[in-house]
Structure 1
Amino acid sequence: MRHTLPVGALAAAALLALSACASDTGSNPSGEASGGSEIALVKDGVLTVCSNPPFEPFEFEDASGEIVGLDIDLNREVAKDLGVDVQVVATPFDTIQSGAALNTGACDVVASGITITDDRKEKFDFSEPYFDADQGLLVPAGSDLRDVADLAGKKVAVQMATTGEKWAQENDLTTVQFEDLGLQIQALETGQVDAVVNDIAVLGAYTSEGYEVANTFPTGEQYGLGVKKGNTALLDAVNATLDRIHEDGTYDAIYTERVGTAPVSK
């Protein structure tokens, strides 16, 4: 996994202006910016984020039941720069990746390890990429399943509406669809499936539970945060924060805490 954020200079005055606009606007169920440059949030004083846990280390529930993770940390930084609070709403991934969560005003930002694709770009606007993510293969420890050829005739758990599902289908694998990663792991545990395919970054958390990551399949995928189509004021604020935390070392600290290793720059 490599750090992908471009180094950019952050204009402090511009960021302060964005923050002031966010504080001054009223709630707007559509999530659209009013007045061209103002940031309108779906709830006054709150950056509402739609996410789909469990997807550790990006979004998952801690011991207290709070949704935390790398994606949430990034949005807390955005909210801090805007001078508002954060509220995370657990949302089905299909509702996130289809743009429905944004279009119905359920949230201001979607953040759930969302791979940037041309199809999704038509549904909502992406931030700068903030994470590289290839596909990985999770199998029971000691399994002889290692590559695509080994998976012929086997049942492979995939998460619905994800690039992992698309990759498995393109490789003619027999797929069983699940709504989230947690259900994929349960299916592997009960023997309903023989293997799990999902983003490599989220599979390592299960290697201490009797499973192993058997292979990584490079795909060139990158994650981005999403905002409603045309909401350029909020998108600019998100990108300004991503630039700022890259520049001041905050991103590296978040990445290291959540992933367990420091990011490697390209």
Structure 2
Amino acid sequence: MKKGRLLGKLTALAAVSLVFLTACQNQGASEEDLAATDSSADQETEVLRFGITGGYPPINYHDEDTEELVGYEVDMAKELVKDLDGDVEAEFVEMSFGSILESLNSDRINVAMHSLSETPERAEQYDFTVPYFDKVWGIIVAEDSDIQTLDDLDGKRAAQSVSTSSGQEAEELGGELVPIDDVDEAVKLITEDRADFYLGSDVGQQDYLDKQPEPLPVRVLDETVQDVPASLVVPKGSDELREALNESIIENTEDGTLAEIYDEYLDMDKSIEDFDEDE
């Protein structure tokens, strides 16, 4: 069913009133122009606000040439809102990663979407949609590092953002966290021997390494770690919004729309294969 159902009750959405002329200072304006102006007063566009960072290619980032916000999650969000009832547009609110979930509590955003996995702790405070992206962790180490397998990570220094699921995973693998803000800092610490490894999205890591002007003295382990797939996150109790997004995610996955988006940015399909256990 291509049209998702919001049931006309997206109460969390901010309505954006179209700007129109309330008076015509040009005395020569035609009655037709005035009629067109008056009719625009009845038009409204609902906005679904997505919280992102805007700085994590290929997930969501600004194109270097155009400064346009792009990325596979940006394109995905624009497709998902097409299925929602009414005239709904995706609006992207950029902030630090640590602020995204908190912003759901303050109504600053309606949806958190920054490659977030459901955890027991998060599920106590927020609601999660069905997954939309199959996540796998890759591990970057120094080129001359003696780390060869996941077992070798035990007791090593992990350059990670402490508030992320990747940081938690690094700790579970035995890593001792060295706090960072982004992948640039993580790789810098590794090349300077101030950290031993960085665990992060496999596609994000590869995109980062491919875009470097010169090869970096690092390598990616052959072994990877399967992560919990990414879902959209909404405020607790947002059942109608969550169900509408679920319908759209499933439909856009099954008809190949998301696969096309992932292939454009990643040259691979990272969409979910089976929703039977997730619906």
Give the TM-score range, shorter chain: 0.7 to 0.9
Structure-to-structure mapping, 1:20-169, within 5 angstroms: 21=8, 37-44=9-16, 45-63=46-64, 64-82=66-84, 83-96=87-100, 99-141=101-143, 143-151=145-153, 154-169=156-171
C-alpha RMSD of the superposition: 2.5
Q: Distance in 1 between matches of 2:54 and 2:184?
A: 8
Q: Distance in 1 between matches of 2:197 and 2:173?
A: 14
Partner of 1:238: 245
Letter in 1 for 2:261: I
Offset at 1:55?
2.7
**Alpha-carbon displacement from aligned partner over 1:97-134 (angstroms, at most 9, x marks no partner):** xx311010111110101011121111111110112213
Q: Distance in 2 between matches of 1:68 and 1:186?
A: 26
Structure-to-structure mapping, 1:206-221, within 5 angstroms: 206-208=208-210, 209=212, 210=216, 211-221=218-228
Contact residue 127 and residue 236 of structure 2 kept, 8 A: yes
Structure 1: gaps (5+ residues) = 1-9, 22-36
Contact residue 133 and residue 220 of structure 1 kept, 8 A: yes
Q: Distance in 2 between matches of 1:239 and 1:260?
A: 25
> Structure 1 vs Structure 2: percent identity of aligned residues?
26
Structure-to-structure mapping, 1:163-178, within 5 angstroms: 163-178=165-180
Partner of 1:7: none
Structure 2: gaps (5+ residues) = 17-45, 275-279
Offset at 1:151?
3.7
Which 10-residue stretch deviates more, 230-239 or 135-144? 135-144
Letter in 1 for 2:97: F
Offset at 1:149?
4.2
TM-score (norm 1): 0.78
SS in 2 for 1:112: strand
